[in-house]
Amino acid sequence: MQGATNLDSRWQLYRLLADPFRLRLLALAQAEELALGELAELLAESQPNVSRHAAPLRQAGLLAERRQGTRTLVRLDPDAARDPVVVDALEAGRKLCVDDGSLDRVAAVVRARDERTREFFARPPHPSDPLGLAGELPGYLCALAPLIARRGLAVDAGTGDGALLDLLAPVFDRVVAVDRSDAQLGRALARASARGYENVEFHRGELDDPGLRQRVGEGADLVVAARMLHHAPLPRVMVDVLSRLVRPGGRLLIIDYCRHSDEALREEQADVWMGFEPSELEEHASAAGLVEVAVSAVPGGYVRNGMDGHIGWQALVATRPELPGGK
């Protein structure tokens, strides 16, 4: 274990794990990657106190951390669970978290990550906001150009105001536009009506709704999630949900921000995540069972208009494997 090399002797590891608070912290960090503020909420402690306890665990190699703007997220270091002493400590910590109810509250804390996002997209549009062609369209075209082969069904996941319909509807025989916000779907419907797109169906709800699964049937030739993943409470889970909408041999396209540090943009758009590293997107796609995974940059000149034009964009392309026998 990496942590063992960070301690002078084994007795220091025992001493480090002798505190019930640290045991609970480790167990929660094993259950999910959490921000220090989220851990403070779950542990009913101040964030400075959580940071004080997390620091020696990180120094010992038991916790891994990464920065998201002003937030620090921590998780159990994968190597830590190889140490039998740590395994025993995690079992004890998990029991403490079950007893105090904090483990059951992890899911609620994760769901709360996108509360501001929901409020943001539920706002009614300004009446004077035009329904012109999307200024980002060249960027979408650049990302989609090598993908258009089978054109039976496309799914626009998180359609928002329907900007991507101006590309998908003229190309695919059938398009299913999905969003959980009535305000956003109203804009998308108005766009489709104004353009005369008769091949677009609208679905209000989450991407894992059974009703959507029924609409998609055996799966879509192409599922697109444009600037949606950074609003997802758990991006890796969202990639898995998206992948299940793709037919065998079909493609998933995710267009999202590169990692950035613009807190003002994050606040303005109610973003949960400040972009992603290419390796993160690749790992999420591979974990979802997708193959032929590739991430490429979208040229900045295609996306320079708009409030987020200064943020780098990237496109993940991945394929759902064919079934045995090529079916």
Q: What CATH number corresponds to the domain at position 11?
A: 1.10.10.10
pLDDT for 1 equals 46
Domains held by the chain: number: 2
CATH number for position 289? 3.40.50.150
Q: Is residue 301 part of a domain?
A: yes
pLDDT for 138 equals 65
Cβ atoms of 254 and 225 closer than 8 Å = yes
- What is the residue whose two structure tokens read 């960027």? 139
Domain boundary among 80, 104, 128: 104
Provide the sign of the torsion angle of the four alpha carbons 127, 129, 132, 137, taken in this order: negative
- 170 with 70, same domain: the answer is no
pLDDT for 10 equals 80
pLDDT for 116 equals 85
- 131 with 89, same domain: the answer is no
- 154 with 296, same domain: the answer is yes
pLDDT for 327 equals 55
Write out the two tokens for 52. 């004080």
Q: Are strands 291-298 and 313-319 parallel, antiparallel or unpaired?
A: antiparallel
pLDDT for 266 equals 92
- 15 with 162, same domain: the answer is no
- 132 with 58, same domain: the answer is no
pLDDT, block means (10 residues), the chain with 327 residues: 56 91 97 96 96 95 94 94 93 97 96 91 79 72 78 95 90 94 95 92 96 96 97 96 97 97 92 96 98 95 81 96 77
Q: Is residue 113 part of a domain?
A: no
- 78 with 26, same domain: the answer is yes
Range of the domain at 7: 2-104
Q: Is residue 82 part of a domain?
A: yes
- 159 with 71, same domain: the answer is no
Domain boundary among 75, 104, 133: 104
Provide the sign of the torsion angle of the four alpha carbons 13, 18, 22, 23, taken in this order: positive
Domain boundary among 58, 81, 104: 104
- 66 with 37, same domain: the answer is yes
154: left (phi over 0), alpha (psi -120 to 50) or beta: beta
Q: Is residue 110 part of a domain?
A: no
- In the Cβ-directed half-sphere of 70, how many Cα atoms lie within 13 Å? 6
- 158 with 264, same domain: the answer is yes
Question: One-letter amino acid identity for 132?
Answer: G
Q: Is residue 189 part of a domain?
A: yes
Q: Is residue 232 part of a domain?
A: yes
- 8 with 47, same domain: the answer is yes
- 228 with 185, same domain: the answer is yes
- 97 with 149, same domain: the answer is no
Q: Is residue 114 part of a domain?
A: no
SS3 label, residue 249: strand
Phi, psi (rounded to 5 degrees) for 60:
-80, -5
Q: Is residue 65 part of a domain?
A: yes
